[in-house]
Chain A
């Protein structure tokens, strides 16, 4: 009972923070701001996948969370290299 309430609270907080990240992604003046917003967005998305998996009691979404974290890190590295060097692979 309490655990389910806390699961809904955590899911709501993570969803709200994803919305705030989307706001910064749309608004951010620097390109680095947008990349930072994407970074936070994918970390929150991975946490939200974990929370949804705890709600449903399955095992499937953990792989999704792991994939989101992995691909998000790679994309953040590539985008910040692109901002600082103007090229991803030299």
Chain B
């Protein structure tokens, strides 16, 4: 083969391979490699919670006025505003744990209850003083706390 054509040929192969690689990676990223699932993800992916045998992580918001204490045990609901999951946890909660807070719980399902072995708080990307947050809440332009 003529060197000029050979170089062109190799370049085309390289570009095609890289293109294929990018395509595959982007397709896979849509499929989501996730650190945690939201309750709605779980529902879409597995249907019933009974199907989940192994350890997973659930992320979402603590549903308002769902926190109950039974001695050492804390019972609350995680929601993504579409679906909810009941979580049982006995152990120390992080400081940020409160109603409406984004959290990630790690554990297993037992009869539709999620037995968490660890609860981590996820704070959002909004940084503001409490007064501003209150004002925003009052004026109904609140966008935080989600996700």
A binds B: no
User: Which A residues have a C-beta under 8 Å from some C-beta of B?
Assistant: none
